[in-house]
Amino acid sequence: MLEVKNLVKTYGNITAVDNLTFTVKPGKIFGMLGPNGAGKTTTIRTILNIIKPNSGEVLLNQRPVTKDLFNSIGYLPEERGLYKKSKVNDVITYLANLKGMHGHTIKSELDKWLKKLEIPQYKERRIEELSKGNQQKIQFISAVIHNPLLLILDEPFSGFDPINQQLIKDVILDLLDNGKIIILSTHQMDTAEKLCSEILLINEGKEVLSGDLSEIKKKFGGNHVKFGYEGDIRFLNEMDEVISFDIYSNTAEVHLKDEVKPELFLKKIIEKVTIKHFSVIEPTLNKIFIDSIKNPKV
Amino acid sequence: MKKAFTVAKWEFFEKIKSKAFIISLFLTPAIIIIFSVLPTLLATKESDSTKAVGILDFTQKYFFDYKNEIEQYKIDGNIPAYAILNNYKEDLSPDSLIKQADQMVIENRIDGYILIRKDAKDSIKVEYRSKSIGNFQDVARFEEAFNNLRIKRKLIEENANPALVEFIKNKVNVNQIKIEKPGEEGKGGFESVFFSSIIFILLLMMMIIYSGQMLVRSMLEEKSNRLIEILISSCTPKDLLFGKVFGLSALGLTQIIVWLIIGISLIGATLIPMNAFENIHLIFVYFILGFVFYTTLFVGVGSIVSTEQEAQQITSYLSLLLVLPTVFIISALQNPESTIIKVLSYIPFTLPSVMILRVNVSPIPLWEIAATFLIMILSIIIVVNVSAKIFRFGILYYGKMPTLNELKSWLKE
């Protein structure tokens, strides 16, 4: 279990992390969400002891994160890059060595991982000869090869095509079965929604929302419908029943006032546009994210 | 410390495999040989073939005697060093004679010619005219020969004893002998000491500058692709710093050893004077101390840069500090006991190169050697600590370079 208590980190006048407290349990993926510049990366760096917090404490299984725990931590930073001129095998061996692994274990684990991520043919190639996606896979391997207790992944899916995103997702879910503590930092809400069971939403270094995702959805509540249509739906602007709406290509998500019945709303709009499908939905994480950041009081 | 060793191993093997390193390993000694050994070689080695030299004597008083004087200089095998040719012809005007002789020089039929004439005040004027000016040895010989001739004639004119003539002709030269220990003579004059000192100082500088640049560049790479975050969550900044310094020092040692082998084989080929290696043990120690000192400094200071331009600025400032003592090389050789040299040999930045120089020039008391070693070791310890602190913050610092105040606050934490 990872416990973060009253974490504060300031840079001059700027408070990057403002009194954050949260707990990450093993066997679940913990999503750390927030807009750009919210303080996600600073929080991660503080957890990893890369930077020292002004105050607060970080405990991994009741022990402070110091150099003794370095070998139990795996980290995939947001910006990617490896020693370009060096060989895949050499780079991973070096980084695994630094995590306290030894010769033959590294060799067998490396072969296993290269196979799992479908790139065994690149073992003896130079990093710079690999495509961006494959370089990311190499970096992912270097974060997990030493079987860390705590794994922190900062935007692990960015830059991957959908097929490889699926591959990485499956690999992460596999890791979860081994009882790891996994923190996933992202602003891809749909991925977070599918993978994380607990989330922490931060903005300007402060906690905005936290807890079990399904409970958050319930609490956030509201009366939401989603429908597909053909035609012009600008009339939604004038309807009294509507609090807010988002339009995607030929689908709309509408937040209705609590007292409005969805079927009555459907009756009203069906006269004006062709409706292809209509459903009552829970608010998406995306919606919760936008609403909480834009109007924190709601 | 185990992780520092892992880092050192990585730094060493990754860099030793790089093409740039392999090229520099052989290119650097080649450059040094070209710039330091070759001039000595060319300046002191006697020419191995007879030169054709003309004499154009408008006074018509000197040709035969002067020819005899000059022909006394021999090269190997008792062959005269100069073949003398008379350029004077009675039926031509002085101007056309000069033109004709110049023409022969231009067409390489003679190496040059000696022009003897009277100037306005009726005194003798001698010129050596050739395509290249700078052949000091030839000119010195022609001068000596001509003066010998004049003195001889004057003495004979005055009816002096011929033995006196011989006596005056035999000049005594002052030889320079360097004393290392009582009763033990060192070899080599100014030039060879100068060049052997220069070789080591140049080697030290090139090595430090080269590896410093390599180091700063590789740290920049680690910083810009955030590999540094992976490294720092795997080992402590101190491990990383030590690892880099160890790795690079090992690399430097490899370089020295390769260069020494090249150097020793060149001595075998009598290209480098042996005395360049007389104090090699001391030079070696100063070399290593200087290298470790500057490398640590480079790691600390280099950690704060985040662009290629800044990296270049920083490395060139540091290199400047390193190169500074070369300004004092000549004065150190002429007067190794001067105050400024003494002062510079106690400042850690200039100490290694100044001491390498002094070790070559004059014997240094044991207490001074011990004191300079101690200063260097202490400075290295201080620099390691300061660098480690700057490094801890620097590697995570992006954007414009930190101000001095920021640096101060880093040092305090």
DSSP B218-274: HHHHHHHTTHHHHHHTTS-HHHHHHHHHHHHHHHHHHHHHHHHHHHHHHHHTT-S-G
- Return d(Cα A278, Cα B119) in angstroms, integer: 119
Average pLDDT over residues B209-232: 84
Summary mean pLDDT of chain A: 87
Residues of chain A in contact with residue B3, where contact means CB-CB under 8 angstroms, are: 98
Q: Please name the member of A49, A67, A75 whose beta carbon is closest to the beta carbon of B230.
A: A75
Say yes or no: B354 and B401 in one domain: yes
Q: How far is B357 from chain A (nearest CA, A)?
A: 39
May I ask the CATH architecture of the domain A222-281? 2-Layer Sandwich (3.30)
- Return d(Cα B384, Cα B72) in angstroms, integer: 65
Say yes or no: B122 and B256 in one domain: no
Say yes or no: B23 and B91 in one domain: no
pLDDT of B174 reads 76
Last residue of a domain, one of B120, B144, B173: B173
ipTM greater than 0.85, yes or no? no
Q: Which of B11, B12, B230 to mutate against chain A (most A CBs within 10 Å)?
A: B230
Asked if A83 and B6 come within 8 Å (Cβ–Cβ), the reply is no
Q: Between B227 and B37, whose confidence is greater? A: B227
Summary mean pLDDT of chain B: 81
Do residues A198 and A30 make contact, with C-beta atoms less than 8 angstroms apart? yes
Long-range CB contacts for residues B187-193, cutoff 8 Å, separation at least 24: B187/B273, B187/B274, B187/B275, B188/B273, B188/B275, B190/B333, B191/B40, B191/B43, B191/B44, B192/B40, B192/B273, B192/B275, B192/B276, B193/B275, B193/B333, B193/B360, B193/B361
Average pLDDT over residues B248-262: 83
pLDDT confidence tier of residue B220, bands split at 50, 70 and 90? confident
Collapsed DSSP state (helix, strand, coil) of residue A231? coil
Residues of chain B in contact with residue A65, where contact means CB-CB under 8 angstroms, are: none
Average pLDDT over residues B276-288: 76
Is the model's pLDDT at B170 over the cut of 80?
A: no
Domain map of chain A by residue range? 2-217, 222-281
Residue B179 lies in a domain: no
Structural domain that includes position B59: 50-173
Q: What secondary structure letter does DSSP report for A87?
A: B
Chain A / chain B CB contacts < 8 angstroms: 60
Average pLDDT over residues B72-90: 84
Residues of chain B in contact with residue A75, where contact means CB-CB under 8 angstroms, are: 229-230, 233
Asked if A83 and B231 come within 8 Å (Cβ–Cβ), the reply is no
Average pLDDT over residues B181-197: 61
Say yes or no: B227 and B113 in one domain: no
pLDDT of B412 reads 74
Q: How far is B403 from chain A (nearest CA, A)?
A: 13
Residue B156 lies in a domain: yes
Say yes or no: B288 and B396 in one domain: yes
Q: What secondary structure letter does DSSP report for B46?
A: P
pLDDT of B273 reads 53
For residue range B382-412, list pLDDT tens digits in order: 998 888 888 888 877 776 777 777 777 777 7
Average pLDDT over residues A250-278: 87
Collapsed DSSP state (helix, strand, coil) of residue A275? strand
Secondary element (H or E) of residue B190:
helix B190-224
Say yes or no: B210 and B263 in one domain: yes
pLDDT confidence tier of residue A21, bands split at 50, 70 and 90? very high
Average pLDDT over residues A210-225: 82
pLDDT of A95 reads 93
Number of H helices, E strands in chain B: 17, 8
Residues of chain A in contact with residue B221, where contact means CB-CB under 8 angstroms, are: 81, 83-84
Is the model's pLDDT at B189 over the cut of 60?
A: no
Its pTM stands at 0.72
Last residue of a domain, one of B142, B173, B204: B173
Last residue of a domain, one of B146, B173, B200: B173
Looking at domain A2-217, what is its CATH homologous superfamily? P-loop containing nucleotide triphosphate hydrolases (3.40.50.300)
For A51, other C-beta atoms within 10 Å of its C-beta total 19
Is the model's pLDDT at B238 over the cut of 80?
A: yes
Say yes or no: B168 and B198 in one domain: no
Name the E strands within A14-143.
14-24, 29-33, 55-60, 63-64, 73-76
pLDDT of B36 reads 64
For residue range B332-353, list pLDDT tens digits in order: 767 777 888 888 888 888 888 8
Residue B364 lies in a domain: yes
What percent of chain B has a predicted confidence (pLDDT) above 70? 87
- Return d(Cα B288, Cα B284) in angstroms, integer: 6
For residue range A104-155, list pLDDT tens digits in order: 899 999 999 999 999 999 999 999 999 988 999 999 999 999 999 999 999 8
Q: Residue B110 maps to which CATH number? A: 3.40.190
Say yes or no: B160 and B235 in one domain: no
Say yes or no: B223 and B360 in one domain: yes
- Closest chain A residue to B5, measured at CA: A98
pLDDT of A296 reads 61
pLDDT of B184 reads 57
Residue B183 lies in a domain: no
Burial class (CB in 10 A: 0-12, 13-18, 19+), B117: middle
pLDDT confidence tier of residue B25, bands split at 50, 70 and 90? confident
Residues of chain A in contact with residue B224, where contact means CB-CB under 8 angstroms, are: 81
For residue range A185-213, list pLDDT tens digits in order: 988 888 888 888 899 999 888 888 888 88
pLDDT of B45 reads 54
Is the model's pLDDT at B298 over the cut of 50?
A: yes
pLDDT confidence tier of residue A49, bands split at 50, 70 and 90? confident
What is the number of structural domains in chain B?
Answer: 2
Residues of chain B in contact with residue A94, where contact means CB-CB under 8 angstroms, are: 6, 10
Is the model's pLDDT at B229 over the cut of 70?
A: yes
Q: Please name the member of A70, A84, A142 whose beta carbon is closest to the beta carbon of B235.
A: A70
Asked if B14 and A51 come within 8 Å (Cβ–Cβ), the reply is no
Helix B237-268 with B19-32: angle, nearest 10 deg? 40
Say yes or no: B237 and B132 in one domain: no
Cα of B384 vs its chain's centroid, Å: 31
Asked if A94 and B226 come within 8 Å (Cβ–Cβ), the reply is no
Say yes or no: B210 and B144 in one domain: no
Average pLDDT over residues B194-222: 79
Say yes or no: B265 and B287 in one domain: yes
pLDDT of A125 reads 92
pLDDT of A298 reads 43
Average pLDDT over residues B270-295: 74
Residues of chain B in contact with residue A48, where contact means CB-CB under 8 angstroms, are: 229, 232-233
Residue B184 lies in a domain: no
Q: Please name the member of A51, A81, A95 whose beta carbon is closest to the beta carbon of B226.
A: A81
What percent of chain A has a predicted confidence (pLDDT) above 70? 99
For residue range B106-140, list pLDDT tens digits in order: 888 888 999 998 877 778 889 899 887 767 778 88
